[in-house]
């Protein structure tokens, strides 16, 4: 049985829906997914081996991004096959009819079709053609967008569907950039072509994202980007509007929301996993930021969970 929550459907084309999903794969079993549409899958928790149409794709798990652009059969096997596995993911699913037939702009000369640089569905069709795993693809930038989608889903304020659609478009273009920059022969340039301050801020955000689960000091963060603590604080505040540690607090709260939603961990364990010094500090900070206690938040999300059947296969290698 799988649990889906923060589901928003429909959203503006070419997307169909967005949701978060948690699936438990029992010990000695495999999860089978028969995919029919283009989707992005962002892995927040879990670790599995993935096979697509009997072709081994390899390991996929926390921090990775999976692109599934075509109908296929996916088979997930827990990496530790002697224990159960919990997968917590966000799915961004596209509307196949829009991708196949629709256009954003109508810029079509009747011969070559829509221009991928002017028409978003054409851009998507051109950019994503094969099943791909991007190890570590859930970068700080993509995580920010995913958390913005979660926030809009939770609050459901007027126009939230338009905002979610906009965040999804930004995510698609960000992933396409990642693929382009990873292509053979791509010259990323050098630091002289990039504003040093911008580079430092983005590097800081990525470092905070990757290390949000442990205690950090300003000197440690500043050393990572080779700036003084004072200079880093000034650059970061000018670029983002928040302080370094306010940004880190937001990352930790978002990580805690995910664990409160998708796990059975106790509050003390969630506090520890998300980098808070104690459960009391965590609870106080969480309530200050979200307006509810961790326990109340967990209960409110539980009321909105949709249960869906999952297809589990026996793993013959364990029988």
What's phi and psi for 6, nearest 5 deg?
A: 50, 40
| Tokens matching residue 39 | 């989707």
On whether the CB atoms of residues 18 and 7 are closer than 8 A, the answer is yes
Q: How far apart are CA 272 and CA 279, in angstroms?
A: 8
Does the pLDDT value for residue 257 go beyond 80? yes
Asked if 1 contacts 307 with a C-beta cutoff of 8 angstroms, the reply is: yes
Residues 112, 87: contact at Cβ < 8 Å? no
Mean pLDDT of the chain: 85
Identify the pLDDT of residue 191. 40
> Each residue of 174-209: pLDDT tens digit?
999 888 876 555 444 444 434 556 778 888 998 998
Q: Give residue 98's pLDDT.
A: 86
Tell me, what's the pLDDT at 84?
A: 86
Q: Which two tokens stand for residue 85?
A: 């596995």
307 bridge partner residues: 3
- The residue ranking higher by pLDDT, 26 or 103, is 26
Torsion of CA 49, 53, 56, 57, to 10 degrees: -70
Residue, of 86 and 113, whose pLDDT is higher: 86
pLDDT for position 27: 85
Q: What is the pLDDT of residues 7-55, one digit of tens each?
A: 999 999 999 999 999 888 888 888 999 988 899 999 998 899 999 999 9
pLDDT the model gives residue 316: 42
* Residue 307, pLDDT score: 67
Token reading at 274: 């998300």
What are the chain's domains? 2-182+309-314 (2.60.120.280), 194-303 (1.10.10.60)
| Crossing angle for the helix pair 244-262 and 229-240, to the nearest 10 degrees | 70
pLDDT at 264 over 90: no
pLDDT at 318: 35
Dihedral pair phi/psi, residue 183, rounded to 5°: -70, 145
Task: Output the pLDDT for position 230.
Answer: 92
pLDDT of residue 282: 95
pLDDT number for residue 194: 42
pLDDT of residue 107: 53
Least confident interval from 13-17, 32-36, 119-123, 309-313: 309-313
pLDDT for the residue numbered 317: 40
Model pLDDT, residue 188: 45
Q: How far apart are CA 126 and CA 115, in angstroms?
A: 10
What DSSP character marks residue 318?
G
CB 58 within 8 A of CB 50: yes
Highest mean pLDDT among 79-93, 111-125, 239-253: 239-253
**Where does the pLDDT of residue 262 fall: very low under 50, low under 70, confident under 90, or very high at 90 and above?**
confident
Q: What is the pLDDT of residue 111?
A: 54
Report pLDDT for 1. Answer: 59
pTM reported for the whole predicted model: 0.80
Q: Does residue 60 surpass a pLDDT of 80?
A: yes
Whether the predicted pLDDT of 286 surpasses 90 = yes
Is residue 218 predicted with pLDDT exceeding 90? Answer: yes
State yes or no: pLDDT of 146 exceeds 80: yes
Cα torsion 67, 68, 70, 75: sign: positive
Query: Stretch 288-317: mean pLDDT, rounded?
Result: 78
How far apart (Å, rounded) are the C-alpha atoms in residues 308 and 23?
A: 9
Alpha carbon distance 91, 21 (integer Å): 8
């Amino acid at each position: 049985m799988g649990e889906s929550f923060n589901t928003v459907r429909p959203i503006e084309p070419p997307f169909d829906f967005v949701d978060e999903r948690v699936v438990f794969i029992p010990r000695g079993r495999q999860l089978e997914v028969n995919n029919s549409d283009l989707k992005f899958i962002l892995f927040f928790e879990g670790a599995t081996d993935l096979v697509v149409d009997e072709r081994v794709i390899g390991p996929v798990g926390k921090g990775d991004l999976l692109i599934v652009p075509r109908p296929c059969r996916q088979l997930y096997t827990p990496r530790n096959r002697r224990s159960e596995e919990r997968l917590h993911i966000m799915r961004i699913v596209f509307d196949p009819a829009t991708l196949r037939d629709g256009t954003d702009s109508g810029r079509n000369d009747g011969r070559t079709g829509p221009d991928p640089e002017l028409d978003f569905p054409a851009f998507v069709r051109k950019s994503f053609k094969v099943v791909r795993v991007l190890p570590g693809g859930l970068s700080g930038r993509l995580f920010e967008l995913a958390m913005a989608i979660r926030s809009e889903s939770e609050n459901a304020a007027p126009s939230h569907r338009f905002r979610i659609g906009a965040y999804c478009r930004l995510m698609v273009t960000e992933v396409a950039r990642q693929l382009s920059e990873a292509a053979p022969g791509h010259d990323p340039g050098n630091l002289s072509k990039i504003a040093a301050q911008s580079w430092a801020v983005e590097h800081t955000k990525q470092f905070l994202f990757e290390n949000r689960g442990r205690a950090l000091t300003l000197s440690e963060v500043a050393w990572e980007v080779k700036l003084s603590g004072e200079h880093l604080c000034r650059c970061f505040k000018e670029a983002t509007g928040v302080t370094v540690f306010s940004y880190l607090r937001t990352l930790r709260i978002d990580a805690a929301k995910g664990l409160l939603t998708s796990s059975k961990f106790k509050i003390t364990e969630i506090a520890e996993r998300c980098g808070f010094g104690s459960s009391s500090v965590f609870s106080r900070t969480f309530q200050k930021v979200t307006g509810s206690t961790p326990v109340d938040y967990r209960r409110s999300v539980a009321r909105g969970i949709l249960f869906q059947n999952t297809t589990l296969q026996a793993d013959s290698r364990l029988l």
